[in-house]
Amino acid sequence: AQSVTQPDIHITVSEGASLELRCNYSYGATPYLFWYVQSPGQGLQLLLKYFSGDTLVQGIKGFEAEFKRSQSSFNLRKPSVHWSDAAEYFCAVGGRFGNEKLTFGTGTRLTIIP
């Protein structure tokens, strides 16, 4: 069965600093990989997704993520965070076969300090 781990429950960074949120997955093949963001009181919004090809994926709001097969990772990065990036971030893995669907990580809460 597929699974995804987000080892950091809460991260605090200063506005303007760089950001990296970690995501590790477990799956028998190369999965589909997603990053979602959830702002307070809002639903989830897709930031980016990886299916195949170039392992560096560009998303919305200046985010990018890199798929590393050898490390089973799909870390999310942003070179300079803004106060509006404060939110909860979810990594998700999707299976490629049959009835496999999305499995979400437990999320990382991002706090931005001035």
Partner 1 sequence: DSGVTQTPKHLITATGQRVTLRCSPRSGDLSVYWYQQSLDQGLQFLIQYYNGEERAKGNILERFSAQQFPDLHSELNLSSLELGDSALYFCASSDSGEYTDTQYFGPGTRLTVL
Residue 94 · residue 104 · CB < 8 Å: no
Q: How many residues does the chain have?
A: 114
Q: Footprint of partner 1 on residues 44-73 (CB under 8 A)?
A: 44-46, 49, 51
104 contributes a contact to partner 1 by CB under 8 A: yes
As measured in angstroms, the least distance from the Cβ of 42 to partner 1 is 6
Binding residues with partner 1: total (CB under 8 A):
19
42 contributes a contact to partner 1 by CB under 8 A: yes
49: exposed, middle or buried (Cβ count in 10 Å: 0-12, 13-18, 19+): middle
* Alpha-carbon gap, residue 20 to 99, rounded angstroms: 32
The C-alpha angle with vertex 98 and arms to 34 and 76, in degrees rounded to 5, equals: 10
> Which range of residues in 12-20, 64-72, 74-82, 105-113 is near partner 1 by CB under 8 A?
105-113
> Which range of residues in 13-21, 37-45, 61-69, 72-80 is near partner 1 by CB under 8 A?
37-45
Instruction: Please provide the distance, in angstroms rounded to a whole number, between the alpha carbons at the two ends of the chain.
Output: 41
Provide the binding-site residues for partner 1, judged by CB under 8 A: 32, 41-46, 49, 51, 90, 94, 99, 101-107
